[in-house]
Amino acid sequence: MTVDVLHARRPLAQSTARRDAAHFIDGAFTQGTSGKTWQNTCPVDGSLIGSVPEGGPAEIDAAVAAAWAALDGPWGRMTVNERTALLGAVADEINRRFDEFLEAECLDTGKPMSLASHIDIPRGAANFKMFTDVAKTVATECFTMPTPDGNGALNYALRRPRGVIAVISPWNLPLLLMTWKVGPALALGNTVVVKPSEQTPLTATLLGEVMNTVGVPRGVYNVVHGFGPNSAGALLTQHPGINGITFTGSTASGEAIMRQAAHGIRPVSAELGGKNPALVFADADLDRAIEGTMRSVFSNCGQVCLGTERVYVERPVFAEFVARLKQGAESLRLGRPEDPATGLGPLVSEQHRRKVLSYYARAVEQGATVVTGGGVPEMPADLAGGAWIEPTIWTGAADDAAIVTEEIFGPCCHIRPFDSEEEAIRLANATRYGLAASVWTENLSRAHRVAARMEVGICWVNSWFLRDLRTAFGGAKASGIGREGGVHSLEFYTEITNVCVKL
């Protein structure tokens, strides 16, 4: 798959007729019975993609019942080898239908195909393979204990699937973040009901076709579309038939979901928002720091939970860093997803653009200096209806300004100088969030010293978004609860029974 091949094809927005989404319940596609739908539009040009049915109580009940039937039936009876072989086939089938997934993801999100073809779709497939190894090789503990009669007792742990898992996923990396949960949930023997983001319904729907093609039993993977509050999301997370909720999205929604999960005492795994810092020391390899920060600020139009929105640069290299990042931002080419020269797509929606632009306005009101950007770009007529926005850099804002403390989720960052390692650490940690940090330095001792003091779930040194899927992924503080990835996913997707045998 090369971008050139894609470019040779028809423009995305004209590539298909209408694409209506459907729920996928008990192995079948359905529009449901609520009678409610909404229009899914493409953020590249505002064109209509198709309609999406909004699930209500009937669809949620049916999906949860199907998930239970599969758990009590064929899926629950499968050996781990049979189950993981099917998930391997799911990964292969996603790769075989790579172009369709790519096109669907780019229609929904507007992101460049060059990005989605390297990140979203291959990782979406890999998430099904990765956890099959974990499921097949996981060991459990065993303790012998002395007893007064001298015969002792043996304790061993059994891991069981948790049951029916509700998966609530966001729009920024729709397939990747949804399968990051569905992959381990299924590999470890659970069944799922997915509520994808209302902004990006297509790839979750397409995955239903894949499940049927490779022979995953009906009811194992279910999708119900809808919104969050007072809609399918809230109905699903409150449903008494759900045993656990895994959620990726904003911190505010995470708080609401935790309240919903309290009813019935259901565990929640939450991957939430961030306000991630990058620390650039004067001893850094500046070329690498600029290249990495360009990606961490502007990739996916800044809509990456791990993305950098606060950059702290040691004073001797501050001016050079600002000038070079400005030059990088100004050279980003805005364009259609299928154009290989596109470096920056639109934001996901007009609604999200209004939110990001409100921060652009507040930055100025609160006295920040706009180094570059700060507004809406002029686009050619065929793209004028899209959610385009300028990549933006600020300096000079106070440490308590909104653009320094609140997650914006757009292609923007604030850059501030610092004078000592201690000050840089204090500034980086001065946030309620704790998702990720990047430290740029060629000093080995400093790299380890500073990384150990970052109050985050993930700290990169001289890199960004370099992910080994076996490692723990998640956030500290208001950025989340729990870790997923590798063996860490066992904590949420399985339940342990300790068996104590008196000998």
Q: Which two tokens stand for residue 154?
A: 């043996």
Q: By C-alpha distance, which of 239, 175, 177 is closest to 202?
A: 175
Q: CB nearer to ligand NAD: give 169 or 222.
A: 169
Residue 409 CB, shortest distance to ligand NAD, in Å, is 5
Residue 200 CB, shortest distance to ligand NAD, in Å, is 8
Q: CB nearer to ligand NAD: give 57 or 316.
A: 57
Distance CA 302, CA 295 (A): 9
Q: Binding residues for ligand NAD, how many (CB under 6 A)?
A: 33
- Do 115 and 302 meet the contact criterion of CB atoms below 8 Å apart? no
Q: By C-alpha distance, which of 419, 361, 409, 369 is closest to 387?
A: 409
| Strand, coil or helix: 416 | strand
Q: CB nearer to ligand NAD: give 106 or 313.
A: 106
Q: Which two tokens stand for residue 181?
A: 């949960």
Residue 381 CB, shortest distance to ligand NAD, in Å, is 29
Characterize 435-470 residue by residue with b for buried, 16 or more Cβ atoms within 10 angstroms of its Cβ, and e for exposed. bbbbbbbeeeebbeebbebbbbbbbbbbebbeeebe
Q: CB nearer to ligand NAD: give 168 or 192.
A: 168
Under the criterion CB under 6 A, does residue 105 sit at the interface with ligand NAD? no
Report the residue from 40, 41, 127, 172 that binds ligand NAD according to the rule CB under 6 A: 172
Q: How far is CA 218 from CA 67, 101, 157, in A?
A: 8, 21, 30
Residue 263 CB, shortest distance to ligand NAD, in Å, is 12
Under the criterion CB under 6 A, does residue 486 sit at the interface with ligand NAD? no
Contacts with ligand NAD in 173-232 (CB under 6 A)? 177, 195, 197-198, 227-229
Report the residue from 93, 103, 339, 407 that binds ligand NAD according to the rule CB under 6 A: 407
Residue 252 CB, shortest distance to ligand NAD, in Å, is 7
Report the residue from 45, 93, 105, 271 that binds ligand NAD according to the rule CB under 6 A: 271
> CB under 6 A: which stretch of 38-46, 123-131, 133-141, 475-483 binds ligand NAD?
475-483
Under the criterion CB under 6 A, does residue 480 sit at the interface with ligand NAD? yes
Q: CB nearer to ligand NAD: give 67 or 322.
A: 67
Per the residue annotation, which of 42, 305, 412, 459 is the catalytic one? 305
Is 305 in the active site? yes
Q: By C-alpha distance, which of 88, 56, 95 is closest to 195?
A: 56
Report the residue from 44, 87, 164, 272 that binds ligand NAD according to the rule CB under 6 A: 272
Residue 212 CB, shortest distance to ligand NAD, in Å, is 23
Q: By C-alpha distance, which of 308, 328, 329 is closest to 389?
A: 329
| Strand, coil or helix: 165 | strand
- Angle, in degrees to the nearest 10, between helices 421-429 and 444-453: 30
Each residue 222-261 as x (binds ligand NAD by CB under 6 A) or -, in order, gives -----xxx---xx--x----------xxx--x--xx--x-
Contacts with ligand NAD in 422-441 (CB under 6 A)? 435
| Strand, coil or helix: 146 | coil
User: Residue 381, Cβ neighbours under 10 Å: how many?
Assistant: 7
Q: By C-alpha distance, which of 393, 285, 284 is closest to 332?
A: 393
User: Residue 259, Cβ neighbours under 10 Å: how many?
Assistant: 11
Q: CB nearer to ligand NAD: give 189 or 208.
A: 208
Task: Please report the DSSP string for 11-40 in residue order.
Answer: -GGGSSS-----EEETTEEE--SS--EEEE
> CB under 6 A: which stretch of 102-110, 202-210, 267-275, 356-364 binds ligand NAD?
267-275
Q: CB nearer to ligand NAD: give 13 or 168.
A: 168
Q: By C-alpha distance, which of 464, 485, 472, 475 is closest to 299?
A: 464
Distance CA 467, CA 349 (A): 28
Residue 131 CB, shortest distance to ligand NAD, in Å, is 17
Q: By C-alpha distance, which of 308, 324, 315, 427 is closest to 371?
A: 324
Report the residue from 170, 217, 277, 328 that binds ligand NAD according to the rule CB under 6 A: 170
Per the residue annotation, which of 59, 93, 271, 314 is the catalytic one? 271
- Do 483 and 491 meet the contact criterion of CB atoms below 8 Å apart? yes
Is 271 in the active site? yes
- Do 339 and 375 meet the contact criterion of CB atoms below 8 Å apart? no
Q: CB nearer to ligand NAD: give 174 or 328.
A: 174
Residue 60 CB, shortest distance to ligand NAD, in Å, is 11
Q: CB nearer to ligand NAD: give 238 or 395.
A: 238
- Site of interaction with ligand NAD (CB under 6 A): 168-172, 177, 195, 197-198, 227-229, 233-234, 237, 248-250, 253, 256-257, 260, 271-274, 305, 407, 409, 435, 475, 479-480
Catalytic positions: 271, 305
